[in-house]
């Protein structure tokens, strides 16, 4: 096969379509041609894999307990790819040639060529730049009026992200309270879908200013309509009664776990996940989040497979935050909605089903001081769902095992709904 035809082949591989042409040229220079006869093993169970394979000609079958070996989704054909798995470069399955098979192998030493550009342009910028702090910036317009924005690199999910509304509204409220009082609880309500392309106006109502407590109401508005409302209570620090019944579960240390971005990359090349799912994820624009997430129990569930209504992960802000304790609570509020609403959907997922979770309300209680740029364990469970509403409760622990935050949320669960970025009602 000549060079021109190989280049054309690489351009049609879904995994490579997200890369610039310069990366394709470098990949072309280092890939190795591998041929297999029918019945040959390409990847063996419990053995290391050499890199990422691209199926050039022929077919291969994925066999293993995690994958449905007889399903067409696990029959690899031309333009398909596979390699490092979720749990590393050792597989719990076999990949067997079911015909004469030709693959292009990108050896593990060169797999960095598959990486897309990070949020930051350089390692130096990555050390100093903190996107979440930029997202939470509030521009003062009047004594009690602030303006927030949706930066181009902020997570949006097709609409203004709910955590952005919570974090920005709390930031606006915090700017009207004396610095010795910290938020100890908040209750918020999502009313309308926000427009990504216009600023959000946050109007703060000073409901109470006492010696030890202050209460604020914040209305987030776009186009003359209130899209989100937050109530927050602030308290002067006081030391008195203290106890803790909740116990932090035993989980691996965050340093031993893959980041969400790394996990996503491994899911893309893992043959134990359905081919259509991997192709879909590979061609999506998955910009890294401003929050570093490390899942405690990585698995093979997708948006079309059932899984338990619970989740545990470590998280912290990417980059170094300033020492303002109010900022750290705003960042935790922002991060708390990243996956929270989706947990109620887990037991109801099935193949071919299109589902979405829309936050209705979100409440938080801050028990102890915390830093959002240090690891926090987020433990969540959805005990029930009914009437198209899912209820989820959660706890956050610091590395000492101290309970720092408790949370609850109710979300609207919708089937066969496409969430549009247009401005309008959520119900």
Question: In 3D, which of 148, 144, 146 has the Cα closest to residue 206?
Answer: 144
Give ∠ CA 105-107-108 in degrees, rounded to 5: 135
Report the DSSP beta bridge partners of residue 208.
Answer: 215
User: Catalytic: which of 168, 188, 344, 359?
Assistant: 359
Measured CA to CA, the distance from residue 306 to residue 303 in angstroms comes to: 8
Measured CA to CA, the distance from residue 59 to residue 78 in angstroms comes to: 7
List strand residue ranges (DSSP E) for 281-368, in order.
291-295, 310-317, 355-366
Burial label, 73 (beta-carbon count in 10 A; 0-12, 13-18, 19+): middle
Question: In 3D, which of 128, 134, 136 has the Cα closest to residue 330?
Answer: 136
Measured CA to CA, the distance from residue 302 to residue 264 in angstroms comes to: 11
Provide the H-helix boundaries in 213-291.
Answer: 260-268, 275-283
User: Catalytic: which of 337, 344, 373, 382?
Assistant: 337
Q: Count CA atoms within 13 Å of residue 86 on its CB side.
A: 20
Report the DSSP beta bridge partners of residue 133.
Answer: none
**3-class DSSP state for residue 371?**
coil
332, containing H or E segment? helix 325-335
Mark whether 337 is an active-site residue. yes
How far is the first Cα of the chain from the last one, in angstroms, to the nearest whole number?
Answer: 56
Contact 68, 255 (CB under 8 A): no
Supply the angle between the helices 3-11 and 21-30 in degrees, to the nearest 10: 130
User: Catalytic: which of 61, 168, 382, 409?
Assistant: 409
Other CB atoms within 10 Å distance of the CB of residue 397 = 24
Measured CA to CA, the distance from residue 214 to residue 236 in angstroms comes to: 9
Measured CA to CA, the distance from residue 370 to residue 404 in angstroms comes to: 7
Mark whether 359 is an active-site residue. yes
Q: Which residues are catalytic?
A: 337, 359, 409
């Amino acid at each position: 096969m000549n060079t021109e035809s190989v280049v054309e082949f690489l351009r049609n591989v879904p995994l490579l379509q997200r890369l610039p042409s310069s990366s394709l040229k470098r990949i072309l220079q280092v890939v190795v041609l591998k041929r297999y006869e029918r019945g040959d093993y390409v990847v063996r169970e419990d053995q290391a894999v050499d890199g990422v394979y691209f199926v050039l000609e022929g077919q291969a079958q994925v066999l293993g307990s995690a994958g449905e070996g007889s399903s067409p989704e696990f029959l690899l054909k031309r333009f398909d790819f596979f390699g490092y798995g979720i749990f590393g470069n050792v597989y719990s399955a076999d990949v067997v040639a079911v015909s004469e098979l030709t693959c292009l192998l990108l050896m593990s030493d060169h797999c960095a060529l598959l990486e897309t550009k990070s949020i930051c342009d350089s390692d130096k910028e990555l050390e100093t730049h903190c996107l979440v702090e930029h997202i939470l910036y509030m521009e003062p317009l009047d004594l009690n009026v602030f303006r927030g924005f949706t930066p181009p690199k902020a997570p949006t999910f097709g609409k203004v992200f709910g955590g952005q509304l919570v974090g920005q509204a709390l930031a606006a409220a915090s700017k009207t309270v004396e610095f010795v009082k910290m938020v100890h609880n908040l209750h918020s309500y999502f009313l309308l879908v926000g427009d990504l392309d216009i600023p959000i106006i946050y109007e703060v109502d000073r409901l109470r200013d006492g010696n030890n407590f202050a209460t604020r109401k914040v209305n987030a508005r776009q186009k003359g309509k209130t899209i989100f409302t937050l109530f927050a209570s602030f308290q002067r620090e006081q030391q008195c009664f203290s106890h803790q019944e909740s116990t932090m579960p035993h989980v691996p240390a965050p340093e031993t776990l893959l980041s969400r971005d790394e996990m996503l990359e491994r899911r893309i090349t893992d043959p134990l996940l359905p081919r259509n799912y991997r192709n879909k994820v590979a061609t999506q624009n998955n910009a890294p989040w401003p929050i570093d997430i490390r899942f405690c129990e990585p698995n093979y569930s997708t948006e079309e497979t059932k899984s338990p209504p619970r989740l545990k992960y470590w998280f912290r802000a990417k980059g170094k935050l300033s020492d303002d304790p109010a900022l750290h609570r705003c960042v935790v509020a922002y991060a708390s909605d990243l996956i929270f609403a989706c947990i109620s959907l887990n037991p109801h997922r099935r193949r071919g089903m299109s589902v979405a979770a829309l936050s209705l309300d979100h409440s938080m209680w801050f028990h102890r001081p915390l830093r959002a740029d240090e690891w926090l364990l987020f433990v969540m469970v959805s005990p029930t769902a009914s009437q198209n509403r899912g209820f989820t409760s959660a706890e956050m622990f610091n590395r000492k095992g101290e309970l720092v935050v408790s949370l609850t949320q109710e979300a609207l669960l919708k089937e066969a709904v496409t969430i549009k970025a247009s401005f309008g009602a959520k119900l």
